[in-house]
Structure 1
Amino acid sequence: MRYMATYDLMESLRNTNQWLGATAHAMAAYPAFALIPNPSVAWMRAWGEVTERTFQRMVVKPDWNIPAVPTKDGRDHLVHTEVVVQRAFGDLVHFEVPGRDVPDRKVLLVAPMSGHYATLLRSTVISLLPDADLYITDWHNARDIPVSAGKFDVEDYTLYLVDFMKELGPDTHVIAVCQPAPLALAATAYLAEEDPAAQPRSLTLIGGPIDPDATPTDVTDFGHRMTMGQLEELMIQRVGFKYPGVGRMVYPGLLQLSSFISMNAETHAKAFTDQISRVARGEAADHDKHNKFYDEYLAVMDMTAEFYLSTVERIFKNGEIAKNMFSVAGKPVDIGKITTVAVKTVEGSKDDISAPGQCVAALDLCTGLPDEKKASHLEEGAGHYGIFAGKSWRRNIRPLVLDFIDANSGHPPKKTRKAANKNAAA
C-alpha cells in the first residue's frame, strides 16, 4: 500500500507544481499589474507560464500531428491514423494517406517502450511517409491498463511483434529503434522457426542494445551496479486510485523522467532558465524549438514492472540475446535460424546510450545469414537521438535505409496501387 501512496504523492507534487505555475501566470497577467513598471512581474508571469506547461505535459499523451504528405500528383494528402490490430498493451497503427498512390515499400516502425510514447518517433514517421506505406507499434501507458489484462514482459513484447509481423505479411520491412532492437531480432528468429513464410523481407536495427557489454555506457554500468532487489525496491510502485490501472505494479513515468533529467541536469536547467528569459522578453512562441522538444520529452508513460525488470535482468544483466540464449514461453529462440531476412545495423559514433558496438553485434549472431544479406553503418558525429530523428537521420541514414529496403524487396518495383479514399462516397 505504501507504494500506492508514493505513486499518488508523486502525482500530487506534479499537480501542485502545475497549479503554482498556473496561479503565478494568472496573477502576473492581471491587467492592473501592467501599471507597475517592475520587471519582476514579467518574470513571474514567464515563470508561471513555463512551469504550468512543463508539469502539465507530463501526463498528456502527445498527438501525432502529422502534416499532409506531398505526392507526385502535385497535391498534399491528409494523413489519418487507423488501428489495424488492437491489443491490451499496444496497438498496430497504420498511417493511412487516402487518395495517393500507395508506395511499394511496406514498413513496420517498431517504437521503443522506454518511458516515452511512440510519438517520440514523429519526425521519423514524417520523413518516411512520402516513400513508404507506414505502420507503427503504439504502446499503451501501463497506468491505464486494468490489472485484469494480466502481465506484460519481454516475452509478451516479443510475441506482440510476432503477431504484428504476421498481420502485415512477408513483404514487410521492419525498422526497430533503440530498446526494441534485440526483441525485434528475437521475434524474427522466432518466426524463422515457427512460421518462415511470415518473416519480413528486411530488418533494420537502429541504436539498439543487442550486446550491452560490447561497449559499456552509464546505462549498462547502472544495470550491472544495481541488484534486481534494489531495482524492485527503488523503482517499482503501484498505480494510484486516479487511473484505470489502479494496483498494477509499474515503473512510473515520472520516476523515469527524473532519471532522464538527472543524466544531463545542467543542460536541462539552462534550457528552462533561458526559456523563462525568452518568455519574459516576448521572444518565445507556442511552437518554438524549446516547446517542440520538451512537449515530447516531458510526456512520459508508465512501464509495467515485469517488462522493466525482465529487460534489465535478461537483456542487460544476463545478456540472453547477446549469448543467443533467449527463450519465449519456454522455447529457445535461435538467432542463427535467420537465413533469408536481410539485416542492417545503424549506430552513432557519439551515442552515449547504445554505444557503437552494441548494435552491430547482431550481425555476428546471424550465423545462418549470408554476408551479402548483412550490412552496417556507423554515422560519424551522431548521438542517440540523431540516428533516428535528427539531421544525421534525414540527410544520411534515411536514404541508406530506403536503399537497403529496395535492395532486399525480393521483386522488381511494382506499379503503385491507388489507396481507397474512404471519403469518396461522401
Structure 2
Amino acid sequence: MRYMATYDLMDTIRNTNQWMGASALAMASYPVFSMVPNPMFQWMAAWGEVTERTFQRMVVKPDWGIRTFTCEDGKDHLVNVETVVERPFGDLIHFNVAGRETQARKVLLVAPMSGHYATLLRSTVKSLMVNCEVYVTDWHNARDIPVSEGKFDIEDYTLYLVDFMKALGPDIHLIAVCQPAPLTLAATAYLAEEDPAAQPRSLTLIGGPIDPDANATEVTDFGNRVTMGQLEETMIQRVGYKYPGVGRMVYPGLLQLASFMSMNGDRHSKAFQDQIMRVTRGEASDHDAHNRFYDEYLAVMDMTAEFYLSTVERIFKNCEIAKNEFVVDGRKVDLGKITTVAVKTVEGAKDDITAPGQCIAALDLCTGLPDSKKASHVEPDAGHYGIFAGKSWRNNIRPLVLDFIDANSDAPKAAAAPKPKGKGAANKNAAA
C-alpha cells in the first residue's frame, strides 16, 4: 500500500480545511453575535464561506451547466447530454439540442486529460453548438475507476480516440485542445493505415506540444529536468480506501493543483483576499467572476500513473511524435500516412505553456499531405487559454476554424487527386 497514506493525508488536509471554513461560517453567523457590532464576525463569516467553497469544489466534478440553447427560431431548446460510447476511462458524449435540425458540421472536440475535467471546455462547447453538432471526449477521474479495469496509458488513449472516430463515421471534424494534440494526430495516422475510409475530414490542433523542443517553455521542459525515477517517487501515489479506485497508482489531481497554484501564487492569494472582502461587503454572488473561474480551476481529477509517466517520457523526453517514432499496440504509427485529412494548427503568440512553434511542427510531419490541405494560424496577444476560450477564440479563431471545416467538408475522394502547390480552398485562411 505504498503512498496510500500520502494520498489519504492530502485528502484529510483538504477535508479539514473545508470543515474549518464551514465551522467558522456557522460560528460567526450565530444570531447572538448580531448584537455585537464587531466587523470581525463579518470577516470571519466571509472567510469561512470562501474557504469552505474553495476546498469543497476540489473533489467535485463540475456540471456542464448547458441546459438550454436559443436557436434561430428564437425559442429556448433543451440540451440533452447523451452518451454515445461508454468506456471505463472515458465516454464519448453528444450535446443534442432537442427539436433542432441536425447541423451539417459534426465536430469531435478532444478534451485534455491533464488534471482538469472536460468541463474546462464549457465555453468552447457553447460557442460551437451555435451551428455544429458537438461531441466531446469526457475523461473519467482515475480515483473512481477500479483496479480491475486495468491500465490506461497514452497508447490506450490513442486507441480510445480511434474507436470514437469509428463510432462517429468519416464525416467528422476533429478539434484537439492542448495535451491531446499529439495523440489525436497519432490516432488519425493510425486510422489512416488501419481503416482509410473511416478517416475524419479535418483535424485542427490547438496549442498542442507536437514538438516540445521546438520552442521549450518552463512547462514543456519540465520532463528534461527530472528523471523518470524522480517523477515516480515524488508524484505517484495510491488511491486511498475512500474511493472505488482504491489501490490504483495515480498522479493525484490535488498534487497537480498545488503545482498550478504555485506558478502564480501571488495572483491567486490576492484573488482570494479580494473575494473575502467582497463577501464581507455583500458584493459577491454565487456566480460572480471569481466563483465562475475557481469553480472550474480548482476542480481537479487524478490521472493514471501510467498515463502521466508515459506522457512525460514518450511525448516530452523522447519526443516520439516529433520524431515520427510513436508505437501503438506494437505497431509503428507513420504520420506520413495522413494523405486526405486536412490539418490546421492554431497557436497563441503569448502562450507560455505551449509556445509558438511546438504545434505547427505537425504540418512538417504530415509528409504525405499536400500543402493545399495544410493551414496554420498564430493569434497575436493570445495566451494559452485565450486560443480556445475568451474573446480571441470567439472573435478570431473560431471563425477561422469553421471556415477551415467548411472548406474541407467534401468526401476525401474529391481531394485524392494530386494538386499543384499554392493556396487552395483548404488553405484560404492560412494567413489569417
TM-score of the superposed pair, with normalisation by structure 2: 0.94
Match of 1:99?
Answer: 99
In structure 2, what is the Cα distance between the partners aligned to 1:36 and 1:323? Answer: 70
Q: CA RMSD in A?
A: 0.7
Q: CA deviation at 1:183?
A: 0.2
Tell me the alpha carbon deviations over residues 69-111 of structure 1, each in whole angstroms, 9 at most, x when there is no partner. 2222221211110101000000000111111011100000000
Equivalent residue, structure 1, for 2:169? 169
Which segment drifts farther, 55-64 or 214-223?
A: 214-223
Give, in whole Å, the separation in 1 of the partners of 2:142 and 2:77: 34
Query: Aligned equivalents of 2:190 and 2:221: distance in 1?
Result: 30
Residue of structure 1 equivalent to 2:374 = 374
Report the equivalent of 2:35: 35
Q: Is the 2:232–2:309 contact (alpha carbons within 8 Å) kept by the matching residues of 1?
A: yes
Contact 2:202 2:343 in 1 (8 A): yes
Partner of 1:262: 262
1:202 lines up with 2:202 in the alignment: yes
| Equivalent position of 1:297 in the other structure | 297
Partner of 1:321: 321
- C-alpha separation in 1, matches of 2:23 and 2:31: 15
Q: For 2:174, what is the secondary structure of its paired residue?
A: strand
Partner of 1:248: 248
Tell me the alpha carbon deviations over residues 294-325 of structure 1, each in whole angstroms, 9 at most, x when there is no partner.
00000000000000000000000000000000
Residue correspondence of structure 1 range 343-382 to structure 2 within 5 A: 343-382=343-382
Q: Which amino acid aligns with 1:133?
A: E
Matches within 5 A, 1:80-229: 80-229=80-229
Rounded Cα–Cα distance in structure 2 between residues aligned with 1:322 and 1:122:
30
Name 1:65's counterpart in structure 2.
65
Q: CA deviation at 1:67?
A: 4.4
Runs of 4 or more, structure 1, over 4 Å off, are none
In 1: Cα distance, 2:381 partner to 2:141 partner: 33
- Give the SS at the match of 2:311: helix
User: What letter matches 2:114 in structure 1?
Assistant: S
Letter in 2 for 1:397: I
Q: Which residue of 2 aligns with 1:333?
A: 333
Q: Equivalents in 2 of 1:74, 1:126: separation in Å?
A: 17
Cα offset, 1:2, TM superposition: 3.9
Q: How does 1:270-309 map to 2 (within 5 A)?
A: 270-309=270-309
* Displacement after TM superposition at 1:38 (Å): 1.4
Contact 2:67/2:80 (<8 A) preserved: no
Partners in 1 of 2:372 and 2:71 — Cα distance?
A: 33
* Aligned partner of residue 109 in structure 1, secondary structure: strand
Alignment of 1:401 onto 2:401? yes
| AA partner of residue 152 (structure 1) | F
Task: Tell me how far 1:205 sits from its aligned partner.
Answer: 0.3
Q: Distance in 2 between matches of 1:233 and 1:335?
A: 34
CA distance in structure 2 between the aligned counterparts of 1:103 and 1:342, rounded to whole angstroms: 20
Which amino acid in the other structure matches residue 266 of structure 1?
Answer: D
3-state SS in 1 of match to 2:130:
helix
Question: 5+ unaligned residues in a row in structure 2: which ranges?
Answer: 412-432
Q: 2:415 corresponds to which residue? A: none
The gaps in structure 1 that reach 5 residues or longer are 412-426
- 1:18 maps to 18
Superimposed CA distance per residue, residues 371-414 of structure 1 (whole angstroms, 9 cap, x where no aligned partner): 01000000000010110011100111011101110000006xxx
* Alpha-carbon distance in 1 for matches of 2:102, 2:31: 54
- Say whether the 8 Å CA contact 2:351–2:382 is kept in structure 1: yes
Of 385-394 and 49-58, more deviation after overlay is shown by 385-394
After TM superposition, give the deviation of residue 27 of structure 1 in Å: 0.7
**Deviation at 1:112?**
0.2
* In structure 2, distance between residues paired with 1:6 and 1:107: 41
**Aligned-residue offset at 1:222:** 1.5
More divergent stretch after superposition (218-227 vs 112-121): 218-227
1:321, 1:17 → 2: CA distance? 42
Q: State the structure with bigger RCO (CA 8 A, min sep 6), 1 or 2.
A: 1
Provide the C-alpha distance between the structure 2 equivalents of 1:16 and 1:319, rounded to a whole number of angstroms.
41
**Equivalent residue for 2:231?**
231
In 2, the alpha carbon distance for the partners of 1:101 and 1:222 equals 47
- Opposite residue 346 of structure 1, the aligned amino acid is V
**1:133-176 deviation per Cα after TM superposition (whole angstroms, max 9, x unaligned):** 11000000000000000000000000000000000000000000
8 A contact 2:83–2:92 mirrored in 1: yes
Distance in 2 separating the partners of 1:357 and 1:33? 60
CA distance in 2 between partners of 1:164 and 1:284 (Å):
42
CA–CA distance in 2 between the matches of 1:52 and 1:99?
A: 40
Asked if the contact 2:212/2:221 (under 8 Å) is kept, the reply is no
Contact 2:221 2:316 in 1 (8 A): no
For residues 407 and 267 of structure 2, the distance between their equivalents in structure 1, rounded to whole angstroms, comes to 42
Looking at structure 2, the residues matched to 246 and 293 of structure 1 have their Cα atoms a distance apart, in angstroms, of 30
Deviation by residue 1:259-304 (Cα, 9 ceiling, x = unmatched): 1101111111111011011111111000000000000000000000
Deviation at 1:240, TM superposition (A): 0.1
Normalization by structure 1: what TM-score? 0.96
